[in-house]
Amino acid sequence: MTIEILNIVSVVIQIILFIALIFVIISLTKYFKILTGKIEALEGDISRFKTRVEPLIDDSRIMVQKIIKVSDKIDENFVYVTKTIEKLKSAADDIIDFKTKVLNRVETPVFDTISAFSAIVKGVRAFTDTWKGSKPLKSHSYQEKDDLLFDDSNDVEFELEKQYDDINKELNEVRKKLEEMKKV
């Protein structure tokens, strides 16, 4: 009897285990169906995301290509700008060299000319000063104005002094300009 009872208990345990196994299989099937549904929903979301992202990716590629073209054009233009700046620099250097050469060639003759004019002005001034100082004393004799070679009035002296002053002013201006040109 014990064997029979053990046998019956063993059959009951086997039945219970089969029922539990069937219950586990049914539960796993339900979970598998739920998981499959979620995977399909995720797959649909991914396909919708893909359809939305593909144009963005294409637009990004086009934009990157345009940026590359623009940067290439900027590089080309930068080369032209650099060459232009170098040409301008060389032209400025040439102009400065030319100016220096002209100043070196013209400076000495101009200063010599200014010195000569200055000497002439000083000589004429010395002559007129001497001439003024050596005038004969006025006699009380009557001379007609028409017979005089030089006008006896002070207007002539004033005009000469004014002309000398004008010449001196002009010479001083020329000196100042030459000194400014030397500084530059």
Please give the average per-residue pLDDT across 32-55, as a whole number: 92
- pTM given for the model: 0.36
What is the predicted pLDDT for the residue at 14? 94
Has residue 60 got a pLDDT over 80?
yes
Asked whether 171 and 117 are in contact (CB, 8 A), the reply is yes
pLDDT tens-digit readout, 91-132:
888 888 888 888 788 777 877 888 888 888 888 878 887 877
Q: What mean pLDDT, rounded, does the chain reach?
A: 81
Distance between CA 99 and CA 181 in Å, rounded?
9
Distance between CA 65 and CA 70 in Å, rounded?
9
Dig out the tokens for 157 from the structure. Answer: 């002296």
Distance between CA 162 and CA 156 in Å, rounded?
10
Dig out the tokens for 126 from the structure. Answer: 């010395």
Asked whether 114 and 171 are in contact (CB, 8 A), the reply is yes
What is the predicted pLDDT for the residue at 64? 93
Amino acid, single-letter form, for residue 164: Y
Residue 141 pLDDT level (bands cut at 50, 70, 90): very low
